[in-house]
Chain A
Amino acid sequence: MALLEVNALDAFYGDFQALFGVSLKVEEGQIVSVIGANGAGKSTLLQSIAGLIKSAPDMIAFDGAPIGAMRAPQLVRQGIALIPEGRRLFSSLSVGENLLVGGQVGRPGPWTLDRVFDLFPNLKHRKDQRSTSLSGGEQQMVAFGRALMTNPRLLLCDELSLGLAPIVVKEIFARLPEIVREGVTVVIVEQDIVQALSASSHVYCLQEGRVTLGGPPAQLSREAIKAAYFGV
């Protein structure tokens, strides 16, 4: 049984429909990437899974249970965490406090403050600094660590690479295998296709709210991806 199953998901912002019958599966221990142009519905998809946008219960199943109608705080307790686009750290909290907020939900698991500092050693010295005083890359690490502190089974990453230097992006992506080894399943949404394809074992392409392509990156030709991405 897949850890996450999305079945014919429709999602709306008010009257505007952003997703049309999106279906996908994520097996436990995989890194799955979702690629697509701006406005393809990638973030909407993650927000629906994380419970920020409500869906019909059966449209999303986590570990076999229907979760489409559950709200975000409940889903965090079930083990779904989302790193939001643009990092969105708590600006009046220190780096350490940002991480501790993630741990406040009290889910048992391997991720503790020390474990996060092992993963991102830079952050250790900056523990007492305001989160806004950090560089973009370090802020992304805090956002990453904060989500890990909830000890998720499924980690959703929305545009990790946004606004970051390529070398920083590489550094963050290099941590993914270690996170998977700890039993976390990862879904990444990316506009940086190269990064997404190399990191993941399965890729889905979204275009205007519909899945236009899916499969292991090795089996997809550049032309097929291009066609699915741009619709040409």
Chain B
Amino acid sequence: MEWVNIIFQGVLLGGLYALFAAGLSLIFGVMRLVNIAHGDLIVAFAYMAYFVMAALHIGPFTSLAVIVPAAALIGYGLQRGLLNWTLGEELPPLLVTIGLSVIIQNLLLVFFTFDTHRLHAGDIEIASVQFLPDLSVGVLPLIQFAVAVAIIAGLQIVFYRTALGRAFRATSDDPVVAQLMGLETRHIFAMAMALSLAVVAVAGVFIAIRTDFNPFYGPQLLIFGFEAIIIGGLGSLWGTLAGGILLGIAQALGGQFNVGWPFLAGHVVFLAVLIVRPQGLFPKVAL
């Protein structure tokens, strides 16, 4: 039963990883932009939540009402004001987001020092549900997992059932012809970034309730996001969820063998998938 418990914890953690990955994969899917600053934005939104909570005396969940719209606005502005100008070739957007990553980390360091922070959610952090005599699961991870799955389902609906999603996919297929159909690709890209950062903001607040964060925590989250995408297979949101869960389980099991092993175990599973099935578990796009 101990193992079931551990695997359960891994699944729940994996939902969060899938959430990091969904935002990353959305941007890559729509505009072939690899956002190296993705993890740092997650951390930046965690800090934002920290100060919104302190200023308004609200909990982390309530703070989402402020953080998510703010993140979407920042995403839209970032895309229209900066990233749209870098698109067209592979290298420039990559270099610019690397620069962005460095800038965000150092700004966070200047303003908030290297001290670690954590978002406090109150009593809910220690509440748990008893599923079986030997299996009890924290309420907070359960809620986070449910929200992560709901967001991924929501993204799936946006992508495949709405006019905006159709515009995303059309623009991704052929941006020039998309313009000939009257789609303002600059706006479409900015909408994709807004959506991505809105998702990232939720992920940022959630992870910051579970673990301590500091200004340099971002790149690690970025790697988890990448790994979840690659394990799941590019272009498939449900695949990304599966990838995140597999990564979460691997880390939980690794941690059980040795407290120093969770990340190593995650990376080993990632490498194993790359070797055995380089296209990922549920690939959707041919590269």
- Residues on the A chain within 8 Å of B180, using CB: 50, 52, 72, 76, 81-82, 84, 147
**A226 in contact (CB, < 8 A):** no
A-B contact count (CB 8 A): 71
Chain A stretch 59-78: residues in CB contact (< 8 A) with chain B? 71-73, 76-77
Given A76-B181, A105-B181, A105-B182, A93 and B174 contact (CB-CB distance below 8 Å): no
**A175 in contact (CB, < 8 A):** no
The interface-forming segment of A96-104, A113-121, A164-172, A190-198 is A96-104
Categorize the interface residue count of chain A: 20 to 34
Please name the residue on chain A nearest to B285 by beta carbon.
A92
Contact B166 A97 (CB under 8 A): yes
Encode contact with A along B150-184: 1 for CB under 8 Å, 0 otherwise.
00000000000001001101101110111111111
Contact A77 B170 (CB under 8 A): no
Contact A104 B167 (CB under 8 A): yes
Contact A92 B169 (CB under 8 A): yes
Would you call the interface of chain B mostly helix, strand, loop, or mixed?
Answer: helix
Contact A88 B177 (CB under 8 A): yes
CB distance from A176 to the nearest CB of B (A): 20
- Residues on the A chain within 8 Å of B181, using CB: 76, 101-102, 104-105, 146, 150
CB distance from A189 to the nearest CB of B (A): 15
Please name the residue on chain A nearest to B284 by beta carbon.
A92
**A173 in contact (CB, < 8 A):** no
- Residues on the A chain within 8 Å of B176, using CB: 52, 84, 88
Chain B stretch 166-209: residues in CB contact (< 8 A) with chain A? 166-167, 169-170, 172-174, 176-185
Contact A93 B169 (CB under 8 A): yes
In whole angstroms, what is the CA distance A73 to B170 when docked?
14
In whole angstroms, what is the CA distance A50 to B182 when docked?
11
**A20 in contact (CB, < 8 A):** no
Contact A104 B179 (CB under 8 A): no
Contact B183 A90 (CB under 8 A): no
In whole angstroms, what is the CA distance A58 to B167 when docked?
32
CB distance from A150 to the nearest CB of B (A): 6
In whole angstroms, what is the CA distance A98 to B169 when docked?
10
Contact A88 B174 (CB under 8 A): yes
**A7 in contact (CB, < 8 A):** no
**A91 in contact (CB, < 8 A):** yes
CB distance from B189 to the nearest CB of A (A): 13
8 tightest Cβ-Cβ pairs between the two chains A and B? A105-B182, A76-B182, A72-B179, A90-B173, A90-B170, A101-B170, A73-B184, A88-B177
Can you show 25 pairs from A to B with CB atoms below 8 A apart?
A50-B180, A51-B179, A72-B179, A72-B180, A73-B179, A76-B180, A82-B180, A84-B177, A88-B177, A90-B170, A90-B177, A92-B173, A92-B285, A93-B170, A101-B166, A101-B170, A102-B181, A104-B163, A104-B166, A104-B182, A105-B183, A107-B182, A146-B181, A147-B180, A150-B181
